[in-house]
Amino acid sequence: MSTPLTSNVPVVPSFFRSAVRVYELSLGRMLWSRRTLFMALVVGGPVAVALVLRLLAALDLLSLTGGVDFVDSANQRVTIDGPGIFGLMVWGFYLRFSVPLLGVFYGTSLIADEIEDKTITYLFTRPLSRCAVLAGKYFAYLVSTGLVLLPSVMLVFFLVVSLLGGSIGAAFPSLVTDLALLAVGLAVYGALFMLIGTWFRRPLLTGLVFILGWEPIVAVVPGYLKRFTVSYYLEGLAPHAMPQDRAVTGILGVMQVSEVVPSVAASLIGLGLILVGGLSLSAWVVERREYVIEQ
Residues from 197 through 226 that contact another protein (CB under 8 A): 201-202, 204-206, 208-209, 212-213
Tell whether residue 76 is a contact of another protein (CB under 8 A): no
Q: How far is the CB of 48 from another protein (least distance, A)?
A: 9
Name which of 89 and 175 has its Cβ closer to another protein. Answer: 89
Residues of this chain, 153-182, that bind another protein according to CB under 8 A: none
Name which of 93 and 141 has its Cβ closer to another protein. Answer: 93
Residues of this chain, 245-284, that bind another protein according to CB under 8 A: none
Tell whether residue 68 is a contact of another protein (CB under 8 A): yes
Among candidate residues 149, 143, 50, 158, the one with its CA nearest the CA of residue 100: 149
Cβ–Cβ < 8 Å for 186, 103: yes
- Residue from 30, 78, 111, 112 in contact with another protein (CB under 8 A): 112
Q: How far is the CB of 26 from another protein (least distance, A)?
A: 10
Name which of 8 and 224 has its Cβ closer to another protein. Answer: 8
Tell whether residue 29 is a contact of another protein (CB under 8 A): yes
* Count of residues that bind another protein according to CB under 8 A: 84
CA distance 105 to 95: 15
Residues of this chain, 31-50, that bind another protein according to CB under 8 A: 32, 34-35, 37-38, 41-42, 45-46, 49
Task: Dihedral sign for Cα 62, 64, 70, 73, please.
Answer: positive
Cβ–Cβ < 8 Å for 12, 127: yes
Q: At what angle do helices 82-89 and 168-199 cross, to 10 degrees?
A: 0
CA distance 34 to 47: 21
